[in-house]
Amino acid sequence: MQAFLRRFGSFISTGRRAALALAMGLLLLPLLAAAQAAAQAAAPAADAPVRFGILPLGGAFESRSDWDPLLAELSRAIQRPVSVLSVNSYEALEQAIQRGEVDMAFLSGKMALDAVSQKRMKVVAQVVRHDGLPGYRGLLLTRKAPPFNTLKNLVNQPERWRLARGERQSVSGFIVPQLQFFLPNHIVMETRFLSEVVGTHQANALAVANNEADVATNNSADFERFKLRFPAEAQRLQVLWESELIPHAQIVVRREYPPELRLRVQAFLVAYGRGKGARGDAERVVLKSLHDLAGFVAADNSSLLPAAKLAYQLAMQNAKTAQWVNDAARQARLQRLESGYAEQLAVLKDVSP
């Protein structure tokens, strides 16, 4: 009887160990799968398509069709297929980058800054426009007809106005007007207006032109494009305010790609639209359709220093004007912003290929 009990106890112990091992295995499976996926994401196959993410400046389909000719040429130049990811919002593109679904992208300063700061991407080029300026300007648009058409009325009674603005990641649609106009006039965009809609620059300008909003954030480059596509609606609008110059958008490439590939992409972009003859003329037509670009110049992570400064200034301004439980909490927040900015600057100074 005692021998039977010993064998039975041994059986139970073995069963418990097996059950524990099975449970541990089940717990580890998702972790192992995630690690394997991360390893695959960190080392893209040499023949895998390069997935190009497009910043949504108009509609998703419109953005994609504008970029298709250039990306077809890029595919031939780097001898790899290039697929397109065109989305309807900054947030959707940002999430795709974080999930590792984007290998190369056309991004505004803030989104490029986030992608580079998180050590996901490296800057290879910056766009150049026909006006030759090193940047563009943020705008506030209103209708020409009163009563919602003067800067004085906007500052004095924002709660009577309906706002159409860009997403929080948009430099000209949110960050710059908040930093350079609204906060200095003691207006917080998200809380002071009668109503608020968030959309693309094109959608926001149309909202004001069609009396669905009273003031919209925009920028000089997109408003020029808007005038060409919607001349009747543009006639109803006026520029109420404009910002300081904002640096142009960047082309970023995934960090895990070999430097040789990034350099080939950079060389292609810099040469695009600069040739002579029929081919150069055709490329310049493509560039003009891409928000009236003149071409690209070689750039590195340091081109994002102005964007980093803008984001830092806005965060500091928000922290200084926010309500805090005590001064110690406020100082702690300011110190975190200072240290975070210092870390960001260190990443941006990495200009290796």
* Separation CA 172–CA 249 (nearest Å): 11
What residue spans in the chain does CATH classification 3.40.190.10 cover? 50-133+248-300, 135-247
- Per-residue model confidence as pLDDT tens digits over 34-86: 444 444 445 567 678 999 998 766 555 556 788 999 999 999 999 999 999 88
- Per-residue model confidence as pLDDT tens digits over 175-227: 999 999 999 999 999 999 999 999 999 999 999 999 999 999 999 989 998 99
Q: Hey, is 202 helix, strand or coil? A: helix
Quote the strand ranges of 117-225, DSSP E. 121-129, 135-143, 162-165, 195-198, 215-219
* Separation CA 12–CA 5 (nearest Å): 10
Q: CATH classification of 135-247 is 3.40.190.10, yes or no?
A: yes
Q: CB of 106 within 8 A of CB of 251?
A: yes
pTM score:
0.76
| Burial of residue 126 (number of CB atoms within 10 Å: 0-12, 13-18, 19+) | buried
- What pLDDT score was predicted for residue 62? 57
Q: CATH classification of 50-133+248-300 is 3.40.190.10, yes or no?
A: yes
